[in-house]
């Protein structure tokens, strides 16, 4: 993944909010990045851009050598379905409420060759192999969060994006989720970008990138114009 001079400006009526200012970032295949920063720093915006859910106001985004900004909507949708997995902050939004756990994973696999073995294995790894026929809409927040990760990994994505994926999990489930992300990175070269406030999560991932006020700092950028306070 590569971001070159990414700027994101939201326009709400006559007010403009600059959410990202000239973000340059290179994330290598198989890296697992914890994206940190205070509320309003631009973390979710960066995740949405990487997911192809937003188009940047300026700058370029590359995934596997593909310039995402050059793709028409149909190709971008196909890229998202086949190469990108996302866990939204509200995990219920990743799921179809009236489908059970296995059906949700199967639905995610519609864009690629269906892999029942992988679907079963993912459900086992997130501890939902016993979830049975309960619809996702009736599951607890923690179960939905774990199922959302299984759905996001269903297609062996090149890029996994997760917004606070452990916020509703106890320590043990949180550890399992992190292990699964690291396993996908190690075994399949999945690159992961995880927004988290959980220091146990960021410590377990391979790299930390900090955003403040729309700028990427610390290890995220080579530049000398950045001072970490």
Q: Which DSSP state fits 93? A: G
Q: How far is the CB of 85 from ligand ADP (least distance, A)?
A: 10
* Residue 148: exposure state from Cβ atoms within 10 A (0-12, 13-18, ≥19): buried
Closer to ligand ADP by Cβ: residue 86 or 180: 180
- How many CA atoms, within 13 angstroms, populate the side-chain half-sphere of residue 153? 32
Nearest to 25 by CA among 226, 229, 219: 219
Closer to ligand ADP by Cβ: residue 40 or 69: 40
Q: How far is the CB of 93 from ligand ADP (least distance, A)?
A: 15
Judged by CB under 6 A, the chain residues 137 through 176 that form the site for ligand ADP are 153
Q: Are 145 and 89 in contact (CB under 8 A)?
A: no
Exposure string of 161-197, with b = 16+ CB inside 10 Å and e = fewer, is: bbbbbbbbbeeebbebbbebbbebbeeeebbbbbbbe
Q: Are 32 and 160 in contact (CB under 8 A)?
A: no
By CB under 6 A, the count of residues binding ligand ADP is: 23
Residue from the set 7, 121, 206, 218 that interacts with ligand ADP by CB under 6 A = 121
Residue from the set 76, 79, 184, 209 that interacts with ligand ADP by CB under 6 A = 184
Q: Answer yes or no whether residue 116 interacts with ligand ADP by CB under 6 A.
A: no
* Residues 6+ positions from 211 with CB-CB distance below 8 Å: 20, 23, 35, 36, 37, 41, 42, 43, 46, 217, 220
Q: Are 104 and 136 in contact (CB under 8 A)?
A: yes
Q: How far is the CB of 103 from ligand ADP (least distance, A)?
A: 18
Closer to ligand ADP by Cβ: residue 109 or 144: 109
Judged by CB under 6 A, the chain residues 28 through 67 that form the site for ligand ADP are 37, 39-45
Closer to ligand ADP by Cβ: residue 72 or 196: 196
Residues lying near ligand ADP in the complex (CB under 6 A) are found at 10, 12, 17, 19, 37, 39-45, 117-118, 121-122, 125, 153, 180, 183-184, 187-188
């Amino acid at each position: 993944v590569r971001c070159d001079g990414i700027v994101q400006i939201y326009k709400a009526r006559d007010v403009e909010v600059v959410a990202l200012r000239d973000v340059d970032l290179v994330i290598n295949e198989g890296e697992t990045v914890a994206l940190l920063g205070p509320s309003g720093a631009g973390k979710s915006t960066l995740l949405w851009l990487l997911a192809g859910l937003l188009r940047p106001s300026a700058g370029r985004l590359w995934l596997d050598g593909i310039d995402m900004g050059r793709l028409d909507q149909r190709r971008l949708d196909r890229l998202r379905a086949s190469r990108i997995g996302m866990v939204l902050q509200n995990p219920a939004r990743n799921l179809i409420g009236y489908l059970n756990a296995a059906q949700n994973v199967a639905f995610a696999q519609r864009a690629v060759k269906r892999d029942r073995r992988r679907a079963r294995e993912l459900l086992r790894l997130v501890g939902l192999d016993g979830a049975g026929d309960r619809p996702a809409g009736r599951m607890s927040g923690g179960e939905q969060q774990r199922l959302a990760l299984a759905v996001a990994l269903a297609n062996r994505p090149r890029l996994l994006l997760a917004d606070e994926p452990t916020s509703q999990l106890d320590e043990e489930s949180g550890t399992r989720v992190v292990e699964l992300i690291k396993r996908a990175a190690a075994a399949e070269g999945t690159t992961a970008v995880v927004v988290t406030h959980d220091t146990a999560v960021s410590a377990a991932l391979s790299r930390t990138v900090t955003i403040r006020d729309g700028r990427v700092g610390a290890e995220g950028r080579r530049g000398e114009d950045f001072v970490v306070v």
